[in-house]
Amino acid sequence: MSGKRRKGKGPSDETVEAVKKKVLEVVGYSRPPEHTRFQPGQSGNPRGRPRIGPPETRLADQPLLNALLKASRKPVRVRENDRITEMPMAEAVVQTILASALKGNAVSQDLAYTLIQTAEHAALRERQRDIELWSWYKEEKSKELALAAERKQPSPRVLPHPDDVIIDYAKGVRFVGPICEVDEAPLKETMAF
């Protein structure tokens, strides 16, 4: 019965389908062109939300931060059990927050978690910077030593020696030998003895 008129009741089924298709193809408000619509399984924001880090501030530009930092380094007396000790104010505040968090204070727990996470991220960034720096150092100084050996020249004095720089990707950089002349003097004395 497709294509036939229905006893004077209106247009044929084909006509109705054709009109529906035309209406659905119209471009306008909330109906972008077919080729610009999101495809199934494709994100509308493939790179995701951009990360926004803390603003770069210098203490010289922020007198309040400078004053806060100066005050946080002042020693304060703190009672721990039955003895009184001195520590920087910042350390005393952190201990107070952690003690409150251990007692179950939800606000202190949230703050402690945020502070610990921030400190761990900062430590990780610092460890990565150290690893990059000392990896570069080892590579450059090893090239210098190899070049001197290749040219049959005396080895340059390099402190710390590249072999004394141990790069541990989990814990960071450590040194197994002298890193400056001051550290080298006792070693020379021991070797001479």
Give the model confidence (pLDDT) of 57-77 as tens digits. 676 777 888 888 899 999 999
Residue 180: per-residue pLDDT: 81
Residue 6: per-residue pLDDT: 53
Give the model confidence (pLDDT) of 147-185 as tens digits. 999 999 998 888 888 999 999 988 899 988 888 878 777
Residue 58: per-residue pLDDT: 72
Domain ranges in the chain are 1-35, 127-193
Higher-confidence residue: 83 or 31? Answer: 83
Q: Which residue has the tokens 């089924």?
A: 13
Determine what percent of the chain is predicted with pLDDT higher than 70. Answer: 93
Residue 73: per-residue pLDDT: 92
Band the pLDDT of 113: cuts 50, 70, 90. very high
Confirm whether pTM is higher than 0.75. Answer: no
Tell me the C-alpha distance between 43 and 21, whole Å: 27
Band the pLDDT of 7: cuts 50, 70, 90. low
Per-residue b or e along 145-171, where b marks 16 or more CB atoms closer than 10 Å to that residue's CB: beeeeeeeeeeeebebbbeebeeeeee
Q: Which of 164, 104, 172 is nearest to 132 (CA)?
A: 172
